[in-house]
């Protein structure tokens, strides 16, 4: 057979230099693409030198409002770039007006694309908007919301929390301490505790400043002299106006609720703390010097605890284990068989009939009460007051005593006597607080409904003659009690936008 290959076609052919043809072809296969890429790179860089920029480095708006006028500009080598598809994305609760978290627009002849309005969430937390486009590096702008978290006392503003704080979840106020000042404390949804101090008679208060962060609970107890002070917890540590008085044992959980007594007949103040494992601890000592003993276990499996009259005219703590009600570890009674677990407890001070009443709300929304002598803990059996109770709280009773008010739907009652109803169209009452008699001789009862609207009625508690409940404010996130005029107890509440 005749061989048709020529020396030039043979890959093993060697020319006169001694280099094989296979070697030349292999070298060409690697070197030619390299030359091609090297010459193409400058052309690609020139055609994709695209830059994006927001018109501002950051945007801020009032929570629950809309930021308008934001835009992104695209430039290529410093000149406006038209026809560029630019996408902008949001996070952390910020949305565009249509509820979406991203939008895409095309730049106009000036290289600009206008963005839809940006809705600021109720949290107002700091975030970023991010712009992207093909061939350009991503760019960002800051987003933040300013707060309208206003604190009021009987509809008069006493201050605002700093911008960027969370929703107010709890409020307590002290009575006047021996320095002549009243302090109002508020806890926000970020677990930061703020306080302001001032004169409760003319509502002249200073700015709210942070007292502590990572606060898990706070509540009232005796302060200096005979005033009411504030106790709060950071994890397992208990403080009184930022002075540490003790810590729960190492095996305990995080503190979830605090109540303190006023000085009992033994001259001691007791502070009680419920932890996340439903264990109740207490320490006793001198509230003026801050010298307290160690926190020790009072009881486990505690479902609720609250305040009521103790010995003499002091304020004590009552707590529940399932259906059993106790006062400083002495059982005073049990809810009837078939009742639910106790979820809330309130006690009155001694009324004009000489009796103290303890109220307990169970998990079936039934309210029970027992009456007796708080000094010897001799109480009658707990009996049903009413069913379908949505909330209960304390306010002035007869003469100068403290009584319990409760709600069934929209109806407000005191010891089973109806004093009024929220207007038609209002929500179910979720929380009740009342004042003692102010300098005008009137008692005011406040009720927060399920729509975050706060209502109030004023009248004479001794004869039960109250006016109609009227709207005080909407968008109320929390309310509680503190000093009012003279030595009375008033109501403080927080107002903020509700998205």
> What is the set of domains in the chain, with CATH numbers?
1-39 (no CATH), 50-145 (2.60.40.10), 150-495 (2.130.10.10)
CA nearest neighbour of 97 among 70, 71, 67: 67
Residues 390, 447: Cα–Cα separation, whole Å: 11
> What pLDDT shows up at residue 6?
44
The answer to whether 321 and 303 are in contact (CB under 8 A) is: yes
- Burial degree of 464 (CB within 10 A; 0-12, 13-18, 19+): middle
**Both structure tokens of 272:** 């009680």
Residue 411 CB coordination number (10 Å):
17
CB atoms within 10 A of CB 283: 21
Structure tokens at 194: 């703020």
From residue 318, alpha-carbon distances to 174, 373, 375 in Å are 21, 14, 13
* Residue 488 neighbours by CB distance under 10 Å: 18
Question: Which position has the token pair 């770039």?
Answer: 81
Reported as half-sphere exposure (CB side, CA atoms, 13 A), residue 425 has a value of 2
Mean pLDDT by 10 residues, the chain (499 residues): 45 44 37 36 54 96 90 95 97 94 97 96 86 96 81 80 79 72 86 86 82 90 64 91 85 91 71 94 81 92 83 73 85 93 83 78 95 78 94 68 84 83 96 74 87 90 81 89 64 78
Secondary structure of residue 407 in the 3-state scheme:
strand
Going by their DSSP bridges, the two strands 304-309 and 383-386 should be labelled as unpaired
Q: Which two tokens stand for residue 127?
A: 């975030």
pLDDT at residue number 424: 95
Check: CB of residue 381 under 8 Å from CB of residue 367.
no
411, 400 in Cβ contact below 8 A?
A: no
What's the CA gap between 182 and 205, in Å, rounded? 9
In angstroms, the CA 121 to CA 172 distance is 26
Cα dist from 70 to 56, 117, 142, 303, 455, whole Å: 8, 8, 12, 52, 40
Distance, in Å, from the CA atom of 212 to the CA atom of 36, rounded to the nearest integer, reads 65
Q: Which is it for the CA torsion 63, 65, 68, 73, positive or negative? A: positive
What is the structure's pLDDT at 46? 45
Neighbours of 31 (CB within 10 A): 10
Predicted pLDDT at 51 = 96
- Three-state DSSP at 70 gives coil
Contact 412, 420 (CB under 8 A): yes
In degrees rounded to 5, what are phi and psi of residue 26? Answer: -65, -40
pLDDT at residue 325, as a whole number: 93
Of the candidates 335, 327, 358, the one whose C-alpha atom is nearest the C-alpha of residue 345 is 358
């Amino acid at each position: 057979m005749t061989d048709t290959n020529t020396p030039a076609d043979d890959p093993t052919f060697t020319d006169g230099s001694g280099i094989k043809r296979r070697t030349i072809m292999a070298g060409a296969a690697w070197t030619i693409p390299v030359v091609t890429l090297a010459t193409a790179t400058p052309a690609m860089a020139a055609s994709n030198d695209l830059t994006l920029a927001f018109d501002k480095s950051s945007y801020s708006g009032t929570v629950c409002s809309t930021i308008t006028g934001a835009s992104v500009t695209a430039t290529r080598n410093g000149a406006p770039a038209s026809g560029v598809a630019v996408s902008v994305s949001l996070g952390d609760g910020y949305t565009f007006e249509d509820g979406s978290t991203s939008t895409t627009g095309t730049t106009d002849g000036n290289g600009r694309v206008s963005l839809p309005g940006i809705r600021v969430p109720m949290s107002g937390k700091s975030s970023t908007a991010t712009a992207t486009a093909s061939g350009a590096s991503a760019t960002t702008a800051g987003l933040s919301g300013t707060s309208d978290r206003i604190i009021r006392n009987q509809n008069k503003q006493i201050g605002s929390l700093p911008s960027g704080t969370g929703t107010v979840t709890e409020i307590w106020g002290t009575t006047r301490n021996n320095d002549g000042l009243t302090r109002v404390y508020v806890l926000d949804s970020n677990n930061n505790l703020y306080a302001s101090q001032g004169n409760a008679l003319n509502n002249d208060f200073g700015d709210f400043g942070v007292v502590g962060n990572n606060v898990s609970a706070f509540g009232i107890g005796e302060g200096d002299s005979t005033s009411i002070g504030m106790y709060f917890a950071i994890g397992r540590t208990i403080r009184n106006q930022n002075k540490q008085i003790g810590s729960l044992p190492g095996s305990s959980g995080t503190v979830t609720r605090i109540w303190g007594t006023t000085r009992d007949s033994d001259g001691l103040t007791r502070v009680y703390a419920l932890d996340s494992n439903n264990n109740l601890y207490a320490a006793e000592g001198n509230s003026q010097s801050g010298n307290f003993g160690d926190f020790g276990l009072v009881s486990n499996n505690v479902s609720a605890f609250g305040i009521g009259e103790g010995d003499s005219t002091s304020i004590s703590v009552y707590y529940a284990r399932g259906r059993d009600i106790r006062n400083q570890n002495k059982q005073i009674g049990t809810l009837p068989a078939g009742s639910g677990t106790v979820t809330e407890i309130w006690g009155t001070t001694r009324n004009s009939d000489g009796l103290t009443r303890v109220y307990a709300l169970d998990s079936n929304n039934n309210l029970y009460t027992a009456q007796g002598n708080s000094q010897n803990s001799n109480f009658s059996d707990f009996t049903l007051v009413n069913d379908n109770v949505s909330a209960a709280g304390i306010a002035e009773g007869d003469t100068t005593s403290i009584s319990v008010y409760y709600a069934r739907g929209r109806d407000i009652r005191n010891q089973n006597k109806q004093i009024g109803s929220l207007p038609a169209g209002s929500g179910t009452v979720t929380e009740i607080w009342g004042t003692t008699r102010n300098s005008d001789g009137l008692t005011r009862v406040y009720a927060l409904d399920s729509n975050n609207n706060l209502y109030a009625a004023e009248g004479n508690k001794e004869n039960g003659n109250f006016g109609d409940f009227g709207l005080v404010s909407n968008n109320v996130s929390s309310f509680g009690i503190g000093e009012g005029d003279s030595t009375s107890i008033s109501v403080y509440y927080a107002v903020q936008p509700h998205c």
